[in-house]
Amino acid sequence: MPEILEQLHQGQLMMINSRKRNGLILIKPFHAEFAGPGSAIGGQFDRSCQKVIAVGDLSMGKPGSQEERQKAFLIRRQWIRLAQQITDNPDPSDRVKMMLKQFENYFTLDTVKSVPDEAFALLVGVLPRTVMRIRGEISK
């Protein structure tokens, strides 16, 4: 994944393949963002990215036309809005449950299990131990 991080730091614009169940968690200094299928990544928006975590079988490309770029940015914004709706919930446990449910609805259980607790914690603004506790409760 170092090559993806380097491309982000250089400001290259890419997009997540919209035809596959895949995505990228972008770890930034104080939070994380999920870029799902069809999302734009890079450009001026993701230069502060410190780490990336692939979700699913990651497939990316470069948007071809201006129309394709615009659509990719709109899709990225939709993923950000979904995360915002989840983080608007004041209860940390509920935020974790909601985000896990969203991921489980879209990806396989094994894929969701492979995402580190720290990544989910940064996505919804909780401590990693909260994610670990909720995952433990759900798996019982």
pTM tops 0.85, yes or no = yes
What are the mean pLDDT values of the chain's consecutive 10-residue runs (140 residues total)?
93 96 97 96 95 96 94 96 96 97 94 96 97 90
Please provide residue 52's backbone torsions phi and psi, each rounded to the nearest 5 degrees. -130, 145
pLDDT in tens, 67-86: 999 999 999 999 999 999 99
Q: Cα(101)–Cα(120) distance, rounded to whole angstroms?
A: 12
How would you classify residue 22: left for phi > 0, otherwise alpha for psi between -120 and 50, otherwise beta? beta
Domains of the chain, residue spans: 2-138
Question: Which CA distances in Å does 97 have to 104, 117, 140?
Answer: 10, 12, 14
Q: Cα(12)–Cα(63) distance, rounded to whole angstroms?
A: 11
Question: Of 113, 117, 36, which Cα lies nearest the Cα of 76?
Answer: 36
Residue 85: predicted pLDDT: 96
